[in-house]
Amino acid sequence: GRNEALKQTAVQSSTYIKEGADLGLASHAVDGDTRSFFKSKTCTHTEDSTPNWNVTFSRSHTINRIVLYNRL
C-alpha cells in the first residue's frame, strides 16, 4: 500500500536533544527514510518515559495497516 503518513504533520510529547542537536524530531517518522541511524536524523526519539507521537492527515483516510520500523 501507499504511505499515507508521508510528509504529513507529526508531533510528539518531547524531543530528545543530545549535544544541542534535536536529532529525534517527530517529522523524521514521516519523511520516508526507514533507515535506523539515529545520528543521521532518520529516527524519532522522545525524552519521556511514557511518550506519545501523533500524525495529522491532510484528509480523511481508512487505515488498514500500520507499519512501524524499530531503531536497532
Give the span between the Cα atoms of 30 and 8, in whole angstroms: 7
Whether 27 contacts 53, CB under 8 Å:
no
At 4 the pLDDT is: 92
Burial of 46 (0-12, 13-18, 19+ CB in 10 A): middle
Domain ranges of the chain: 1-72
pLDDT by residue (tens digit) across 4-53?
999 999 999 999 888 878 888 999 999 999 888 888 888 899 999 999 99
Q: CATH for 1-72, among 3.40.630.10, 1.20.120.140, 3.90.1170.30, 2.60.120.260?
A: 2.60.120.260
